[in-house]
Amino acid sequence: MATAICTRFSDEYELHEELGKGAFSVVRRCVQRNTGHEFAAKIINTKKLTPRDFQKLEREARICRKLQHPNIVRLHESIQEENSHYLVFDLVTGGELFEDIVAREFYSEADASHCIQQILESVNHCHHNGIVHRDLKPENLLLASKIKGAAVKLADFGLAIEVQGDAQAWFGFAGTPGYLSPEVLRKEPYGKPVDIWACGVILYILLVGYPPFWDEDQHKLYAQIKAGSYDYPSPEWDTVTPEAKNLINQMLTVNPSKRITASDALKHPWICQRERVASVVHRQETVDCLKKFNARRKLKGAILTTILATRNFSSKYDAQGRSIITKKGDGSQVKESTDSSTTIEDDDPKEDKRGGVDRSCTVIAKEPEGPASQGTPPNSPGAVSAFSRLVGAASQTNKQPQNQVQGNPLGLAAVLLQGAQG
């Protein structure tokens, strides 16, 4: 795969329907003229990009070119024209992994093992090539097709970074709150282990349908994560094998130097000997909780998008309402997450690292994606009432003069998913 500077995209590809749209980009299905193969073309309007946006675009394309793996959404071609940049990716049509799970007639611990194995395979390939994803979460885990047993595909490398070996450094505050590692929250040097921590959170959810860390108060959520404060409450965890819990414990180890690596996790008995170790009993309770978990994620995104699009915010957010930039009193910018399942990024290495994460500029209240208190299933009344408060809090927020709202490019995973569900 190479970047073509002079080639015209239209000479090689025929564009079809739109799959999704962002502030600076649109994703459309396209067909390669000489082969008839279908792809997803992310078309970026480069006239609207800042120099920093150009750097991020070049970084994303450079990283994607390095990664060729069956469990990663592959970049096939990158074409630069005068006012547009075309990124030609795999066309994935299976939707989100988590949505597929709840539609299955049977789902067991062994199925969860197979899912996390594919995720770990993609992460291991990234780490082997010196790439840290930094935003592993359910929204970025897609299925290649709707065929039963289709491969899990890791998508959206917009926050990914390049690292040298096992070196660690401060690369900026980036990721999704519910999946952030302790070292990122402490603003310490970090590297590949942050992806393993996120895998541990994902595995926990795959087994019971709700996350290991949750609190309606973001400060308390971060305190839980930094302390590694999670448990395995009854009765839902009583039927999970000790081997599965052991792998989670090794992934959710607070000290990153002692956290298991992707390659070692793939050698864990619960992964490589799942036929003998993992339970094959259907986990209906997990499916039921996961349905509620998925529904809240989708509803939050839709409501936040509507609220942010119709209110007079002097804020910068992306087309999914996934994150906001607000101005502090000194004129500096702080990017804040609207809830614990949305992506945030503040990649200024000069940012003050002493005080942790400043939550004082949060514009919109968050709705919990998990249980109302740690260890409580997410279908509790507390979780529902908290979400109802979200709309009221948002509608009362920020009455500043009207300003034009600007957006960031829509994440590839989101637009590919829109196409799959449309």
Structure-block tokens of residue 199: 């895998």
Instruction: Give the pairing of strands 3-4 and 152-154.
Output: unpaired
What pLDDT does residue 364 have? 25
> What is the spatial distance between Cα 122 and Cα 153, in angstroms, rounded to a whole number?
8
Q: How confident is the model at residue 82 (pLDDT cuts 50, 70, 90)?
A: confident
Residue 379 has pLDDT above 50, yes or no: no
Distance CA 232, CA 179 (A): 18
- According to the model, what pLDDT value does residue 216 have? 82
Active site residues: 135
- Looking at residue 30, its pLDDT comes to 97
Higher pLDDT, 400 or 167: 167
Q: Tokens at residue 165, please?
A: 């070996």
Average pLDDT, rounded, for the chain: 78
Q: What percent of the chain has pLDDT over 70?
A: 69
CA distances from 393 to 91, 253, 308 (A): 38, 35, 12
Q: Which CA distances in Å does 247 have to 51, 137, 231, 286, 341? A: 43, 18, 14, 18, 23
Residue 319 amino acid letter: A
Output the pLDDT for position 371.
Answer: 36
Q: What is the pLDDT of residues 180-203, one digit of tens each?
A: 999 999 999 999 999 999 999 999
Residue 220 has pLDDT above 50, yes or no: yes
Give the Cα separation of 117 and 107 in Å (integer).
15
pLDDT 10s digits, 156-184: 999 999 999 988 999 998 998 899 999 99
pLDDT band at 408 (very low <50, low <70, confident <90, very high): very low
42 is in an annotated binding site: yes
Strands 3-4 and 75-80: parallel
Yes or no: say if 375 and 238 are a contact pair by the CB < 8 Å rule.
no
Q: Which of 414, 412, 406 has the alpha carbon at shortest distance from 49? A: 406
The closest of 253, 168, 180, 191 to 213, measured between CA atoms, is 180
Whole-Å CA distances, 370 to 160, 339, 366, 377: 26, 11, 12, 7
pTM of the predicted structure, to 2 decimals:
0.76
Cβ proximity of 226 and 182 under 8 Å: yes
Rounded to an integer, what distance in angstroms lies between the CA atom of residue 378 and that of residue 380? 5
Contact in structure between 341 and 178 (CB atoms under 8 Å): yes
pLDDT digits (tens, 9 = 90+) for 24-70: 789 999 999 999 999 999 999 998 889 998 899 999 999 999 999 99
Q: Is 90 exceeded by the pLDDT of residue 322?
A: no
Higher-scoring residue by pLDDT: 332, 230: 230
Contact 96, 143 (CB under 8 A): yes
**Residue-level length of the chain:** 422
3-state secondary structure the chain: CCEECCCCHHHHEEEEEEEEECCCEEEEEEEECCCCCEEEEEEEEHHHCCHHHHHHHHHHHHHHHHCCCCCECCEEEEEECCCEEEEEEECCCCCEHHHHHHHCCCCEHHHHHHHHHHHHHHHHHHHHCCEECCCCCHHHEEECCCCCCCCEEECCCCCCEECCCCCCECCCEEECHHHCCHHHHCCCCECCHHHHHHHHHHHHHHHHCCCCCCCCCHHHHHHHHHHCCCCCCCCCCCCCCHHHHHHHHHHCCCCHHHCCCHHHHCCCHHHHCHHHHCCCCECHHHHHHHHHHHHHHHHHHHHHHHHHHHCCCCCEECCCCCEEEEECCCCCEEEEECCCCCCEEECCCCCCCCCCCCCCCCCCCCCCCCCCCCCCCCCCHHHHHHHHHHHHHHHCCCCCCCCCCECCCCCHHHHHHHHHHC
User: For 110-165, how does the pLDDT look when each residue is reduced to its tens digit (9 = 90+)?
Assistant: 999 999 999 999 999 999 999 999 999 998 999 999 999 999 999 999 999 999 99
Which is more confident, 8 or 270? 270
pLDDT level of residue 399 (50, 70, 90 thresholds) = very low
Question: At CB < 8 A and 24+ separation, what contacts does 381-386 make?
Answer: 383/296, 386/216
φ and ψ of 85, to 5 deg? -125, 130
Residue 391 has, within 13 A of its CA and on its CB side, a CA count of 9
Contact assessment for residue 312 and residue 401, using Cβ atoms and an 8 Å cutoff: yes
Assess contact for 17 and 61: CB atoms under 8 A.
no
